[in-house]
A and B are shown apart, each in its own frame.
Chain A
Amino acid sequence: MMLKWIPLLPLIGFTINGFWYALIQCRPGAKKAGAGIPGLIATTMIFLSFLISLRVFFYLKGQPEDARLVEEHLFSWMKVGDFNLEMALRIDSLSTLFTLVITGVGTLIHLYSIGYMGHDATPGKFFAYLNLFCFAMLMLVMGSSLPILFLGWEGVGLCSYLLIGYWYQDTEKASAGKKAFIANRVGDFGFILGMFLIYTHFGTLEFGKITELLGKSEFTTLLNPTAVTATCLLLFLGCTGKSAQIPLYVWLPDAMAGPTPVSALIHAATMVTSGIYMLARLNLLFSLSHTAMTVIAVIGALTALLAATIAIAQNDIKKVLAYSTVSQLGYMFLACGVGAYGAGVFHVITHAFFKALMFLGAGSVIHGMHEEQDIMKMGGLKSKMPVTFVTFLVGWIAISGIPPFAGFFSKDEILWNTFAGPHASKFLWAIGLFTAMLTAFYMTRMFYLTFMGTPRFNEAAMGANGHGHHDDHGHDHGHSDDHGHGHGPKGVHESPALMTIPLVVLAVLSIVGGFIGIPHHSWLEHWLEPVIPGHAEGAFSVGETGELVLMIVSVLAAAGAIAYAWKTYTNLKSAEARKKKHAKLHEALENKWYVDEAYEATFIQPIYELSVKLWKGFDVGVIDRIVLGFGRVSQWTGQAARTLQTGSIQVYAIMLLFGLVMTLAYLIKGFM
């Protein structure tokens, strides 16, 4: 097989665009280039990678169930004694789905970016980063061992950092990138220790061998349960960083500072789902620790709820989507926590479709509105941006959980497992259901405020505004705005075909994507069985009638929330009045429950102050004083300075040498 080409092609694309940027674009006075050529190179690479992924998928499909695994050994990465880490790739029924989503959705987003970044000053850099991201993401899901997964894990973190801070001249954006990297590093701290524990207990870091050991009951019964729980929780700490869960989710909303296609690809469809991938990959391990599973389920449910409450009060269209992503990721962890890894993966896939769709739709709106992101200043875009409107409508229904759109099936699968699965919890189910209502509510709010009603902006002023602060930076790189200004027609306009085609494709996928996981006939669950063992017959505590009732309940809840939100925002004035009535609550929501401020006060500030004290108090105040007191440096310095300043270094050097020789002579004589 040609597995290596799947990650290698984007890496080649990165190299081409990277060198083009560094050697040609960086030169002073280099001509400004369009996004066409670099975009085409990058898109071609990821598209070819998609084709190979497809081929691998069909190859696997043609194999008998227990033989659906392709491995490819590249070279030995680190070999120290009996610790041998192979650089090897591995695709099985789980990772093939991820490679398809990454390269497939990735191709669409690359294509979209050619339009979106059309007027960017450094397209070579942008597409190089985008390709590098795809490379790292593919390594993450294709790596045959934890360290290779970690290579991808940190690699995607790097690209996320670089792309969030892509418009680096804006301090806020640069800070957001740094925050993302550091929050992820906190998680990686757990990941690394988790790896070490696995190595101590399993003697290997390779997935194949770990899974094999976990399959043997004579091995698993001998494992120390405390160590297993610790391992799982440490690895999960890594997931809370990468997949934005409590307590480390705070970076993701800020990450919206990056260009919108980046938000769609990295911060919605792929990177942030890495945590789910890791849980699914090691599901046999996690299932051994009841404590860890409970923690994961509870954190997932709470994150889903917390983020959904915040999303209600956000006015920035991308912020709403960001909190919605955090919330949906919470659902996925809830699924894993109740043992329904397959449902988690299912939601990863459908979410990749509808959330990428909504982000790209939001990008199209922002593009058409000349960098406006505040939904309170939108309204009535329905007729002005028809394609964006229709596709966004699909995304909205899909995420709200209305059948037969994709989001309904996956979310319902999660709720069903939470209610009736082997690790069921009625309480968490109630949180999940309530969150589903909140989701339908805030999504309707956003959808209505953006596309319906009457415009709340001055169209004549649109576009003219964009030209204003454009002269400042000239055509140099580093625009601090979403993309170059002074282009396109004035007024609100629909986006070009390069951007709307991906929207249409994703909209179709958001409609039909759910059919891979229809209850009781789930192709997906069956497909994943070699990696994620299915539940035994009778594992569910509620029969089919109950299942149907639950389904109806959740659909009614979603529909009710939609209707309520629709009614509320049709009359904006009364909505405002209601907001005033609950001003305190609204303020807390708008300020994201003050979590950032709390972190600042409890961790960042104290460590900073302590560090200053250590430096000035301990280094300078204690150690230097002791040592320099010994040497009476002040006197020496005076003399030495005079010697040096008279220019007679040679004299001094000779004296030193002389001293050394005399000492030697003395010693030798003394001993002889």
Chain B
Amino acid sequence: MEWFNSHLLTGLTFLPLVWAAVGTLLPEKTVKHWAFAGSIVVFLLSLKLYTGYDPQGAEFQFLESAEWIPGLGVNYSLGMDGISMWLILLTTFLSPLVILSSYQGVEDREKSYYTLLLALQTGMTGAFVAMDTFLFYVFWEAMLIPMYFLIGIWGGKERIYAAMKFFIFTMVGSLLMLVAIFFLAYQHKLQFGNFSTALLDLYKVKLDGAGYFSTQGLLFLAFALAFAIKVPLFPLHTWLPDAHVQAPTAGSVILAGVLLKMGGYGFIRFAFPLFPQAVATYQHTFLILGSIAIVYGAWVAMVQPDMKKLVAYSSVSHMGYVVIGLFALNSIGATGSVYQMLNHGISTPALFLMVGMLYERRHTKEIKEYGGITKVMPLFAVAFMIATLSSVALPGTNGFVGEFLILLGAFKANPGLAVLATTGVIFGAVYMLWMFQRVMFGPLTNPENKKLKDLSLREACVLTPLLVAMIVMGVVPNFFFEKMETSVAKLLERTGKVEMVAQTAIRKDGK
């Protein structure tokens, strides 16, 4: 058991890849079942993380480490805290659903498709568990390759353009991060005598942090650029709508469900604790950008004629909440942000899956091609409604818990911007309900829509876990908070924000 625990993270990371390698020996038509089985096995294994993780224990658990490039102080070291645990579980939870959802839509080169999906899972899990900055970078880049091919091969008409755009944006962003990692390793050598890229070592490195363009400030920007592109934060978001629209359904689901979370996770694990002073310096810059993203994403989502593009822009808006919650630099906001990452990883995939289901039936994502679909697909309408409500953050669904905490946290940090961000609750309802109305309500006039079939059993199986999760996460968020509370506290401690006792009254003198 001891051995099992101390290699669990490696197992979870590489099992999908190994599984995929074995899968290449199987006949083309059976690979999907093989992949599905693999993703289930990985999911079940990952549950062990939940039972094994002790929030009162060490900061990072399930640690393992081996030398990799000794000359540079690069180690293969893995570990996990309460925040990454939920993100890993999100990844392993989505994976079987994504594979199952592809059963019908993907008929071309199945073997490569499922191999890439599983390889992608290895990249994502690896990025979440890497405790070494260089290792993180390798996984971070490794994720790009399968996603690039998923979009480039199984995507829509403009897939090459979208894949290249995705690649350029993310590559450009992360190159500076690589430089910054080596600079940090070098600083470690200057201060402690040896090269190290180990995260916990780098946390100890002292850097000048006064001002916007101090050492910390510049290094922070190098990391933040990579993460902000991934989030994606306004104004670096324009790769996302194209990538989503062109990607196959599974690509969109993983992109929205997990890849975007890498950005938020990067801030939490790297940018915040490594450069606490710079974070304080840039706090309001990011609060402003995040608030703009919320409103901007919502407004632009509103005018999209394509369902997928609409959902993509809604991601810009929803991930804007994540940014302002984190940069509120208090536990309410940060907890809300981590939660919002999980929420967004549940509700947006559900929306993409459902758009995909419509697409498989009608081969169009244009909103105007639909209307009155409730009549022919009543069960689908129920599912779509629940996902819509989660997206508009109705209390009782997961979305509300995240947005409420984030806005409350942001309000403590900067009331003025929180007011701007809160307008998002209005516009969020506008674009979602308007889309819902145009697709699902109204008369069923388009003759091509009259024969559409309602959800199949397989489709219902794909959606049900997500819909259940939306409600459960809305009603008992504490179940999730319990495991991540200490990690969030530790994050704020490292960022130099130990929270003061809540102020009970604002006095007349304004203090």
Question: Helix, strand, loop or mixed for chain B's interface?
Answer: helix
Kindly provide the distance from the CB of B150 to the nearest chain A CB, expressed in whole angstroms. Answer: 11
For A168, the chain B residues whose CB sits under 8 A away are: 372, 374, 440-442
- A641 CA / B158 CA spacing, docked (Å): 11
- A631 CA / B441 CA spacing, docked (Å): 43
For A482, the chain B residues whose CB sits under 8 A away are: none
Q: Are B300 and A199 in contact (CB under 8 A)?
A: no
Interface string of A15-40 (1 = CB under 8 A from B): 00000001001111000000000000
Interface size on A, residues (CB 8 A): 84
- A328 CA / B77 CA spacing, docked (Å): 69
Taking CB atoms and an 8 Å cut-off, the chain B residues in 265-318 that contact chain A are 296, 299-300, 302-304
Taking CB atoms and an 8 Å cut-off, the chain B residues in 460-511 that contact chain A are 475-478, 481, 485, 489, 499, 501-508, 510
With A80-B405, A668-B69 as known contacts, state yes or no: A623 contacts B235, CB within 8 Å: yes
With A78-B401, A196-B411, A615-B303 as known contacts, state yes or no: A182 contacts B172, CB within 8 Å: no
Taking CB atoms and an 8 Å cut-off, the chain A residues in 415-465 that contact chain B are none
Q: Are B71 and A671 in contact (CB under 8 A)?
A: yes
- Pick from B160, B412, B433: contact of A637, CB below 8 A: B160
For B239, the chain A residues whose CB sits under 8 A away are: 627
Q: Are B375 and A633 in contact (CB under 8 A)?
A: no
Question: Helix, strand, loop or mixed for chain A's interface?
Answer: helix
Q: Please tell me if A79 contacts chain B, counting CB pairs below 8 Å.
A: yes
Taking CB atoms and an 8 Å cut-off, the chain B residues in 391-408 that contact chain A are 394-396, 400-401, 404-405, 407-408
Q: Are A644 and B153 in contact (CB under 8 A)?
A: yes
For B423, the chain A residues whose CB sits under 8 A away are: 189
Q: Are A165 and B441 in contact (CB under 8 A)?
A: yes
Q: Are B71 and A611 in contact (CB under 8 A)?
A: no
Q: Please tell me if A672 contacts chain B, counting CB pairs below 8 Å.
A: yes
Kindly provide the distance from the CB of B198 to the nearest chain A CB, expressed in whole angstroms. Answer: 16
With A79-B481, A200-B412, A628-B165 as known contacts, state yes or no: A189 contacts B425, CB within 8 Å: yes
For A672, the chain B residues whose CB sits under 8 A away are: 71-72
Which segment, of A149-157, A271-279, A534-542, A584-592, faces chain B? A149-157
Kindly provide the distance from the CB of A446 to the nearest chain B CB, expressed in whole angstroms. Answer: 31
Q: Please tell me if B35 contacts chain A, counting CB pairs below 8 Å.
A: no
With A200-B503, A203-B502, A611-B300 as known contacts, state yes or no: A653 contacts B429, CB within 8 Å: no
- A174 CA / B443 CA spacing, docked (Å): 10
| A181, A227, A611, A641, most chain B CB atoms within 10 A | A611
Q: Are B331 and A178 in contact (CB under 8 A)?
A: no
With A78-B405, A196-B407 as known contacts, state yes or no: A640 contacts B152, CB within 8 Å: yes
Q: Are B505 and A201 in contact (CB under 8 A)?
A: yes
Q: Please tell me if B454 contacts chain A, counting CB pairs below 8 Å.
A: yes
- Pick from A22, A161, A640, A656: contact of B379, CB below 8 A: A22
Q: Are A668 and B72 in contact (CB under 8 A)?
A: yes
Q: Please tell me if B19 contacts chain A, counting CB pairs below 8 Å.
A: no
Q: Please tell me if B200 contacts chain A, counting CB pairs below 8 Å.
A: no
For B485, the chain A residues whose CB sits under 8 A away are: 80-81
Kindly provide the distance from the CB of B377 to the nearest chain A CB, expressed in whole angstroms. Answer: 9
With A78-B401, A80-B331 as known contacts, state yes or no: A637 contacts B441, CB within 8 Å: no
- A637 CA / B166 CA spacing, docked (Å): 12
For A199, the chain B residues whose CB sits under 8 A away are: 408
Taking CB atoms and an 8 Å cut-off, the chain B residues in 417-456 that contact chain A are 418-419, 422-423, 425-426, 429-430, 433-434, 437, 440-444, 453-454
Q: Are B169 and A627 in contact (CB under 8 A)?
A: yes
- A79 CA / B55 CA spacing, docked (Å): 15
For A185, the chain B residues whose CB sits under 8 A away are: 425-426, 429-430
- Pick from A25, A169, A192, A631: contact of B168, CB below 8 A: A631
Q: Please tell me if B187 contacts chain A, counting CB pairs below 8 Å.
A: no
Kindly provide the distance from the CB of A469 to the nearest chain B CB, expressed in whole angstroms. Answer: 13
Q: Are A78 and B478 in contact (CB under 8 A)?
A: yes
Q: Are B504 and A81 in contact (CB under 8 A)?
A: no
Q: Are B454 and A147 in contact (CB under 8 A)?
A: no
Q: Are A477 and B375 in contact (CB under 8 A)?
A: yes
Q: Please tell me if B145 contacts chain A, counting CB pairs below 8 Å.
A: yes
- A618 CA / B401 CA spacing, docked (Å): 32
Interface string of A264-301 (1 = CB under 8 A from B): 00000000000000000000000000000000000000
For A151, the chain B residues whose CB sits under 8 A away are: 395-396, 400
Q: Please tell me if B182 contacts chain A, counting CB pairs below 8 Å.
A: yes
Q: Are A614 and B296 in contact (CB under 8 A)?
A: yes
Kindly provide the distance from the CB of A310 to the nearest chain B CB, expressed in whole angstroms. Answer: 26
Q: Please tell me if B389 contacts chain A, counting CB pairs below 8 Å.
A: yes
Kindly provide the distance from the CB of B447 to the nearest chain A CB, expressed in whole angstroms. Answer: 15
Q: Please tell me if A605 contacts chain B, counting CB pairs below 8 Å.
A: no
- A27 CA / B460 CA spacing, docked (Å): 13
Kindly provide the distance from the CB of B167 to the nearest chain A CB, expressed in whole angstroms. Answer: 9
Q: Are A169 and B172 in contact (CB under 8 A)?
A: no
Closest A-chain residue to B186, C-beta based? Answer: A671
- A26 CA / B441 CA spacing, docked (Å): 16
With A193-B419, A224-B508 as known contacts, state yes or no: A182 contacts B153, CB within 8 Å: no
- Pick from A25, A83, A623: contact of B238, CB below 8 A: A623
Closest A-chain residue to B69, C-beta based? Answer: A668
Closest A-chain residue to B405, C-beta based? Answer: A80
For B477, the chain A residues whose CB sits under 8 A away are: 77-78
With A611-B303, A627-B168 as known contacts, state yes or no: A81 contacts B426, CB within 8 Å: no
Q: Please tell me if A223 contacts chain B, counting CB pairs below 8 Å.
A: yes
Q: Please tell me if A624 contacts chain B, counting CB pairs below 8 Å.
A: yes
Q: Are A181 and B165 in contact (CB under 8 A)?
A: no
Q: Please tell me if A494 contacts chain B, counting CB pairs below 8 Å.
A: no
For A170, the chain B residues whose CB sits under 8 A away are: 442-443
Taking CB atoms and an 8 Å cut-off, the chain A residues in 46-98 that contact chain B are 75-83
Q: Are B426 and A182 in contact (CB under 8 A)?
A: yes
| A168, A476, A477, A608, most chain B CB atoms within 10 A | A168
With A637-B160, A640-B164 as known contacts, state yes or no: A219 contacts B300, CB within 8 Å: no
Kindly provide the distance from the CB of B449 to the nearest chain A CB, expressed in whole angstroms. Answer: 13
Kindly provide the distance from the CB of B134 to the nearest chain A CB, expressed in whole angstroms. Answer: 9
Taking CB atoms and an 8 Å cut-off, the chain B residues in 353-399 that contact chain A are 372, 374-375, 378-379, 382, 389, 394-396
Q: Are B112 and A649 in contact (CB under 8 A)?
A: yes
| B378, B404, B415, B425, most chain A CB atoms within 10 A | B378
Q: Please tell me if B184 contacts chain A, counting CB pairs below 8 Å.
A: no
Q: Are B454 and A26 in contact (CB under 8 A)?
A: yes
Taking CB atoms and an 8 Å cut-off, the chain A residues in 636-669 that contact chain B are 636-637, 640-641, 644, 649, 653, 656-657, 660, 667-668
For A501, the chain B residues whose CB sits under 8 A away are: none
Q: Are A81 and B499 in contact (CB under 8 A)?
A: yes
Q: Are A653 and B164 in contact (CB under 8 A)?
A: no
Kindly provide the distance from the CB of A179 to the nearest chain B CB, expressed in whole angstroms. Answer: 10
- Pick from B172, B396, B506: contact of A200, CB below 8 A: B506
Q: Are B426 and A189 in contact (CB under 8 A)?
A: yes
Kindly provide the distance from the CB of A81 to the nearest chain B CB, expressed in whole angstroms. Answer: 4
Q: Are A169 and B299 in contact (CB under 8 A)?
A: no
Q: Are B499 and A77 in contact (CB under 8 A)?
A: no
- A478 CA / B145 CA spacing, docked (Å): 48
Kindly provide the distance from the CB of A576 to the nearest chain B CB, expressed in whole angstroms. Answer: 36
Kindly provide the distance from the CB of B113 to the nearest chain A CB, expressed in whole angstroms. Answer: 11
Closest A-chain residue to B163, C-beta based? Answer: A640
- A653 CA / B300 CA spacing, docked (Å): 36
Kindly provide the distance from the CB of B439 to the nearest chain A CB, expressed in whole angstroms. Answer: 11
Q: Please tell me if A188 contacts chain B, counting CB pairs below 8 Å.
A: yes
For B434, the chain A residues whose CB sits under 8 A away are: 178
Q: Please tell me if A607 contacts chain B, counting CB pairs below 8 Å.
A: yes
Q: Are B169 and A671 in contact (CB under 8 A)?
A: no
A sample of 25 cross-chain residue pairs with beta-carbon separation below 8 angstroms, ordered by A number, consists of A27-B454, A75-B476, A150-B395, A154-B395, A169-B441, A192-B422, A196-B418, A199-B408, A201-B506, A202-B504, A203-B503, A223-B508, A224-B507, A477-B375, A477-B378, A608-B302, A614-B300, A615-B304, A624-B165, A627-B165, A627-B172, A628-B168, A633-B161, A637-B164, A671-B71
Sample of 5 more A-B contacts, CB < 8 Å, known A150-B395, A200-B506, A611-B300: A27-B454, A189-B422, A202-B504, A627-B168, A649-B153
In the complex, the 9 A-B pairs of residues with the closest C-beta atoms, listed nearest first? A174-B441, A151-B395, A611-B299, A168-B441, A203-B504, A26-B378, A672-B71, A631-B168, A196-B411
